[in-house]
């Protein structure tokens, strides 16, 4: 028994010593301003956020994804990748057991302490923190560079930029629609200054009535919501969140938007995930806010 | 009835002294009720949106029958959002303070408080179960919250009773055990829920009045008023119980029955307030103590005074919570804890 325990202990230590695999030759600065040392060739990567999983697949490196969170459900192939827990409490043990060379983290999942623990295990951690569409493009380029898919990432960004430009061309002549973006009805949450959705709304020919509120996802006063008198209300719902958030909050029942039937349900996965599908979100919002601009 | 008549004989409180107490109760309650009414009106004028003062006062005076020149939006802000929330704050504050005062008298413990004893957590677990399994049926929330509060009350009471009786330290320790146990139940249940619901729950657990439900408001107010009256009617028995259960029994108090009534009514009060607003902490500690410090420890005065004072306290605390970082909001529980925790430390040093 003792011998067995000793043997395992030794196996563990020797394994740990061999952890830094391959030469460390690259240093990239992530969105948190950290200088991250990366192996030249990355064969094993774990994503701890659904948007990052989507980006890994979109740049053509899905086959190198060895771990994902339970919320990472797109594309369909992602579901066959090993789960390491949810975005809030992933299992450190399972992550280490999967021997990733890089772990991709989104600050929105608040895993700062985790980062420290992974670094102690000699696993590189790369943090992304997009606050607008350009930030999403930067995340795509970073992930592409980390995984040696720079060219594909570049092409993807270019394609997405063209789609964004096409929307902009259609809506730029229209007066922006004043939008209330309801993250949840009870308690009432909306998007503030730091949320990347605020930028998506602007690109879709709208203007968020809460664009100046500090923070990314502020809890918002009902009476202030009523006083904003939005022309349109966007309910992110129907995606992986299911039917939650499909009714307008009480305070906005009598708003111009609700009275004129300008309440739009848009797939929350396209709006809440700063990944490639954010462009789908922009297109869907633009069509809802400016239907006449999209008539043939 | 037997209780009160027999106790009168034994405590030898002359009729004149009773009249003095009655007069003191009526005067102090009238003053507090006046202050409460004033607070309701004044706090209706404060919010993240500016409303014109004169027309608002005029509309309030007409009980919402005439707009008095307020725009439609301003009128809705005042009567659909602000006033219901203020009334709920009053109901929650009144309930928690009354329950706190009754627990303190019954358990002969100045530190007894629904939040600190884990009773609010019991109600919170009940509410969570209602939200998860009967999400659409609103009345299940107060019912299960009441059940949870009652179970937690009995658990704490049983745990606290040692050979030497329920000492303050033992009671607080029992409260800590029940609180931490139920907190882990809450953590476990929230982990099983999906991410979007967690956010609303964590906010609600801190005590939050922003989701004021119009259908639960009348129930909450009825329970507060009814509960405060019921406990005030038992105030004389509680006075005698403060001498000790043995002595109270010798003086003719039906100890078992009174204890049961207080547990049931106080659990109902805590359950309805937690179902409406989550766990607002320290109200049941701060308010009864202030009532006793200023009006004396006669429960016939301190219980109704705590009910009115609790309403006043939470209305003011919630006005701070909804305006201090407007248009964003804080949970009201953060404000009451900010005031209550230091007071708790002060009281702990005096016990």
Which pLDDT band holds residue A21 (cuts at 50, 70, 90)? low
CB contact under 8 A, A226 and B73: yes
Please determine, for residue A57, whether its predicted confidence score (pLDDT) is greater than 80: yes
CB atoms < 10 A from the CB of B206, how many? 18
Q: pLDDT tens, B71-80?
A: 999 999 999 9
Predicted pLDDT of residue A13: 41
Q: How many CB pairs under 8 A join A and B?
A: 76
In this structure, what CATH number is given to the domain that contains residue B177? 1.10.3470.10
Backbone angles phi, psi at A210, to 5 degrees: -115, 25
Which pLDDT band holds residue B341 (cuts at 50, 70, 90)? confident
Please determine, for residue A25, whether its predicted confidence score (pLDDT) is greater than 90: no
For A18-156, CATH number out of 3.40.640.10, 3.40.50.720, 3.40.50.620, 3.40.50.1980 equals 3.40.50.1980
CB contact under 8 A, B327 and A224: yes
In a domain, B134, yes or no: yes
Mean pLDDT of chain B: 87
CA of B331 to nearest chain A CA: how many angstroms apart?
A: 10
- With helix as H, strand as E and coil as C, how does A60-123 read? CCHHHEEEECCCCCCCHHHHHCCECCCCCCCCHHHHHHCCCCEEEEEHHHCCHHHHHHHHHCCC
Summarize the confidence of residues A20-42 as an average pLDDT.
82
CB contact under 8 A, B195 and A86: yes
Please determine, for residue A17, whether its predicted confidence score (pLDDT) is greater than 90: no
A227 contact residues in B (CB cutoff 8 A): 49, 73, 77
Q: A15-24, A227-236, B320-329: lowest mean pLDDT where?
A: A15-24
Residue A43 DSSP symbol = -
Q: In chain B, pLDDT over 70 holds for what percent of residues?
A: 92
Predicted pLDDT of residue B345: 81
Q: pLDDT tens, A216-237?
A: 889 999 999 999 999 999 999 9
Task: Report yes or no for ipTM above 0.85.
Answer: no
Predicted pLDDT of residue A116: 80
CB contact under 8 A, A224 and B49: yes
Which pLDDT band holds residue B164 (cuts at 50, 70, 90)? low
Summarize the confidence of residues B230-238 as an average pLDDT.
94
What residues have CB less than 8 Å from A271, skipping those under 6 apart? A197, A200, A234, A236, A278, A281, A285
Residue B79 DSSP symbol = I
Query: B107: domain range?
Result: 86-350
Domain residue spans of chain A: 18-156, 173-294
Q: pLDDT tens, A82-104?
A: 999 888 778 888 999 999 999 99
Please determine, for residue B54, whether its predicted confidence score (pLDDT) is greater than 80: yes
Predicted pLDDT of residue A258: 95
Q: B50-64, B321-335, B337-351: lowest mean pLDDT where?
A: B337-351
Backbone angles phi, psi at A174, to 5 degrees: -85, 145
Which pLDDT band holds residue B21 (cuts at 50, 70, 90)? confident
Q: pLDDT tens, B245-271?
A: 888 888 888 888 998 899 899 999 999
Predicted pLDDT of residue A16: 40
CB contact under 8 A, B327 and A186: no
B195 contact residues in A (CB cutoff 8 A): 71, 86-88
For A173-294, CATH number out of 3.50.30.50, 3.40.250.10, 3.40.50.1980, 3.30.70.1230 equals 3.40.50.1980
Please determine, for residue B171, whether its predicted confidence score (pLDDT) is greater than 60: yes
Q: Where are the beta strands (DSSP E) in A4-68?
A: 24-29, 35-39, 45-47, 65-67
pTM more than 0.90: no
| Domain total in chain B | 1
């Amino acid at each position: 028994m003792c011998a067995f325990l000793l043997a395992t202990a030794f196996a563990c230590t020797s394994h740990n010593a061999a952890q830094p695999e391959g030469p460390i030759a690259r240093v990239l600065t992530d969105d948190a301003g950290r200088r991250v040392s990366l192996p030249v060739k990355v064969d094993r990567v774990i994503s701890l956020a659904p948007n990052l999983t989507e980006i890994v697949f979109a740049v053509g490196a899905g086959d190198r994804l060895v771990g994902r969170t339970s919320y990472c459900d797109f594309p369909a192939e992602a579901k066959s990748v090993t789960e390491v827990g949810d975005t809030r409490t992933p299992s450190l043990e399972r992550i280490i057991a999967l021997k990733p060379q890089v772990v991709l983290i989104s600050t929105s999942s608040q895993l700062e302490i985790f980062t420290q623990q992974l670094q102690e295990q000699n696993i590189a951690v790369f943090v992304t923190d997009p606050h607008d569409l350009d930030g999403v493009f930067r995340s795509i380029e970073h992930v592409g560079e980390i995984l040696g898919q720079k060219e594909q990432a570049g092409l993807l960004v270019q394609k997405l930029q063209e789609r964004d430009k096409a929307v902009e061309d259609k809506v730029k002549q229209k007066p922006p629609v004043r939008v209330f973006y309801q993250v949840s009805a009870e308690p009432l949450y909306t998007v503030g200054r730091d949320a990347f959705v605020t930028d998506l709304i602007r690109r879709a020919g709208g203007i968020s009535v809460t664009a100046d509120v500090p923070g990314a996802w502020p809890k918002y006063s009902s009476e202030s919501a009523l006083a904003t008198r939005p022309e349109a209300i966007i309910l992110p719902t129907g995606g992986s969140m299911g039917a939650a958030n499909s009714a307008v909050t009480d305070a906005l029942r009598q708003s111009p938007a609700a009275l004129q039937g300008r309440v739009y349900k848009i797939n929350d996965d396209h709006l809440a995930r700063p990944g490639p599908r954010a462009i789908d979100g922009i297109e869907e919002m633009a069509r809802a806010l400016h239907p006449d601009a999209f008539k043939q | 009835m037997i209780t009160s008549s027999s106790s009168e004989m034994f405590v030898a409180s002359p009729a004149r002294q009773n009249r003095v107490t009655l007069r003191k109760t009526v005067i102090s309650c009238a003053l507090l009720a006046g202050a409460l009414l004033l607070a309701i009106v004044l706090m209706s004028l404060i919010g993240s949106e500016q409303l014109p003062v004169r027309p608002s006062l005029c509309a309030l005076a007409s009980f919402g029958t005439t707009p008095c020149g307020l725009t439609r939006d301003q009128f809705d802000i005042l009567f659909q959002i602000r006033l219901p929330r203020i009334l709920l704050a009053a109901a929650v504050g009144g309930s928690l303070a009354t329950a706190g005062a009754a627990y303190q008298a019954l358990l002969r413990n100045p530190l007894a408080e629904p939040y600190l004893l884990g009773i609010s957590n019991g109600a919170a677990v009940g509410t969570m179960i209602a939200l998860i399994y009967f999400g659409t049926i609103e009345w299940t929330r107060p019912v299960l919250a009441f059940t949870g509060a009652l179970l937690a009350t009995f658990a704490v009471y049983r745990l606290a009773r040692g050979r030497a009786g329920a000492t303050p330290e033992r009671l607080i320790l029992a409260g800590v055990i029940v609180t931490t146990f139920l907190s882990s139940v809450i953590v476990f249940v929230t982990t099983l829920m999906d991410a979007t619901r967690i956010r609303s729950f964590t906010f609600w657990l801190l005590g939050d009045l922003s989701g004021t439900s119009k259908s639960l408001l009348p129930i909450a107010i009825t329970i507060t008023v009814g509960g405060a009256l019921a406990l005030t009617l038992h105030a004389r028995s509680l006075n005698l119980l403060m001498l000790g259960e043995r002595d109270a029994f010798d003086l003719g108090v039906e100890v078992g029955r009174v204890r049961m009534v207080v547990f049931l009514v106080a659990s109902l009060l805590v359950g309805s307030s937690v179902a409406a607003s989550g766990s607002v902490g320290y109200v049941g500690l701060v308010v009864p103590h202030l009532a006793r410090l200023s009006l004396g420890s006669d429960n016939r005065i301190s219980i109704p005074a705590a009910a009115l004072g609790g309403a006043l306290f939470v209305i003011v605390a919630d006005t701070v919570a909804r305006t201090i970082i407007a248009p964003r909001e804080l949970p009201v529980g953060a404000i009451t804890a900010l005031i209550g925790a230091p007071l708790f430390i002060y009281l702990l040093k005096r016990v």
